[in-house]
Amino acid sequence: MLPRAALKYLSLLLSVVLALLLSLPVQAQESDGQARETAPLAESLGGTAKQEYEAARILFDDGDFLGAIAKFKRAYELSGDPRLLWNQAVCEKELRHYARSAELIRRYLAEGADLLEPQKKDEVQRILDSLKRFSSRVVFSGVPNGASLRIDGEAIGVMPLSGPLVLDLGTHKIEISFPGYQTWVREVDIPGSAPVNVRVKLKPETQLAQLSIRTHRGASIQIDGAFVGEGRYDGALEPGSHTIVVSQKGKKTETRTIDLLSGGRRTLDVSLRDSAGAGPLPWILGGAVLVGGAVATGFLMTQPGNFEGPTGTLGTIDARNR
């Protein structure tokens, strides 16, 4: 990457040269090869194209380069004058969009060749060569045809692109998406001058797995430590291993580990067993027996001392009557 001082110097140099070229009269080539001066844009344009051009100049002088680009572009669409490509290139350069500026200059050289005398054409070519130091061509490998390309959040097109991709120096966020695969996202550093090769390896897209869990009413269901409901659960989970815990008061907690496949569907029925010895009934019954026994024993021990026999008098029995 160029040192910061060199970047500032080269940027200043380009600004001066671009401004000088913008102010030079435009020449057209006669059939005999002699150049003739053509009218400035302010005079040669008419109607809406002239209005757009004049608005662009006002915006440019005010430092609104984005607005100026839009107006210059509209004037070009209406008139087809290649000099308006040059004006757009100047605005892009001011925004430090060096790759876009270079592309517009290439178009200007191609479309306006008959308007440029050799000396000016050489000057334009030198500027174009200088701009190349501020950008790099990016070449991709491993990208399938039909994949969509986004750079810094802006949609660029579908691969393969119709032309070379050139990016300004600096760090750029590159996104490549293709149906059935995960979006490939990387930040790529562009050094300028030298081309940059970007290797892309797309990974198949994973689909969520569907899981259904059925258990006792009121039983708590946890998945990977998170409570998800009671009694039943129906939802989608990431493919892979998951831990299921089902619990309920008075029941043995059930823990299971399951593996879910991408796009798969699974149903899990969980039946909880009663906890061993968990109920208080045996102890209560045993206590009742002990208490009952104590009561019975007490009764037998205390009742004889209080028994006085039947009431009435004793009589005699005549032996002869026996």
Q: pLDDT at position 319, please?
A: 44
Is-contact 122 130, C-beta < 8 A? no
Tens-digit pLDDT profile for residues 137-161: 999 999 999 999 999 999 999 999 9
Question: CATH 1.25.40.10 occupies which residues in the chain?
Answer: 41-132
Is-contact 150 208, C-beta < 8 A? no
Q: Which residue has the tokens 């809406």?
A: 48
- Within 13 Å and on the Cβ side, how many CA atoms surround 293? 6
Question: CATH 2.60.40.1120 occupies which residues in the chain?
Answer: 135-204, 209-270
Work out the pLDDT band at 106, boundaries 50, 70, 90: very high
Work out the pLDDT band at 117, boundaries 50, 70, 90: confident
Is-contact 189 136, C-beta < 8 A? no
Q: pLDDT at position 277, please?
A: 56
What's the mean per-residue pLDDT of the chain?
82
Rounded distance, CA 203 to CA 236, Å? 21
Percent of the chain beyond pLDDT 70?
Answer: 74
Higher pLDDT, 322 or 136: 136
Rounded distance, CA 147 to CA 130, Å? 33
Rounded to the nearest 5 percent, the helix, strand and coil shares of the chain are 40, 30, 30
Higher pLDDT, 291 or 135: 135
Higher pLDDT, 114 or 251: 251
Provide the terminal-to-terminal Cα distance of the chain, rounded to the nearest Å: 145
Burial category of 219 from C-beta neighbours within 10 Å (exposed 0-12, middle 13-18, buried 19 and up): buried
Fold assignment, 209-270: Immunoglobulin-like (2.60.40)
Higher pLDDT, 100 or 296: 100
Q: pLDDT at position 189, please?
A: 95
Q: 41-132 sits in which CATH class?
A: mainly alpha
Q: pLDDT at position 293, please?
A: 47
Q: 135-204 sits in which CATH class?
A: mainly beta
Pairing status of strand 240-247 against strand 265-269 = unpaired
Tens-digit pLDDT profile for residues 56-67: 999 999 999 999
pTM for the complete prediction? 0.56
| The amino acid at 54 | E
User: Nearest CA to 84 among 58, 50, 125, 120?
Assistant: 50
